[in-house]
Amino acid sequence: MSKTSGAGQGVIVVSNRLPVSLECAGGTCHSSPVSGGLVTALTPVLTVNKGTWIGWSGAPDVEGVDAALRLFSQETGYTLQQVGLTHEQIANFYFGFTNQIIWPLFHDSQFECNFNPDYWQTYLDVNALFACKTVESGNADDYVWVHDYHLMHVAKYMREAGDNRRTGFFLHIPFPAVDSFRRLPWRSELLNALLEFDQIGFQTLHDRRNFIQAISILAPHVKVTGRGQVVTAKVGGRTIRIGAFPISIDYKKFYRTARSAVVRKQAQHVHSALPDRKIILGVDRLDYTKGIPHRLHAMQKLFTRYPELRGKLSLLQVVVPSRATIPLYAKLKKEIERLVGQINGEFSEPGYVAIHYQYKNLNFEELLAYYRASNIALVTPLRDGMNLVAKEYCAANVERNGVLVLSEFAGAAAQLRNGAILVNPFDVEGVAAAIHQAYMMDEGERRKRMDRMRESIRKNDIFKWVDSFFASAFAP
Contact between 167 and 198 under an 8 Å Cβ cutoff? The reply is yes
The rounded distance, in Å, linking the Cα atoms of 215 and 193 is 12
Cβ neighbors of 163 (< 8 A, separation 6 or more) are: 134, 135
If you count them, how many residues does the chain have?
476
Contact between 281 and 377 under an 8 Å Cβ cutoff? The reply is yes
Backbone angles phi, psi at 116, to 5 degrees: -80, 120
Report how far apart, in Å, the C-alpha atoms of 132 and of each of 4, 158, 160 are. 28, 7, 10
Backbone angles phi, psi at 155, to 5 degrees: -60, -40
Contact between 96 and 119 under an 8 Å Cβ cutoff? The reply is yes
Contact between 245 and 38 under an 8 Å Cβ cutoff? The reply is no
Report how far apart, in Å, the C-alpha atoms of 90 and of each of 61, 93, 331, 337 are. 10, 5, 22, 29
Q: What's 273's DSSP letter?
A: H
CB atoms within 10 A of CB 331: 11
Contact between 425 and 381 under an 8 Å Cβ cutoff? The reply is yes
Which residues are the active-site residues? 172, 384
Cβ neighbors of 94 (< 8 A, separation 6 or more) are: 16, 85, 150
Report how far apart, in Å, the C-alpha atoms of 168 and of each of 12, 19, 44 are. 10, 19, 18
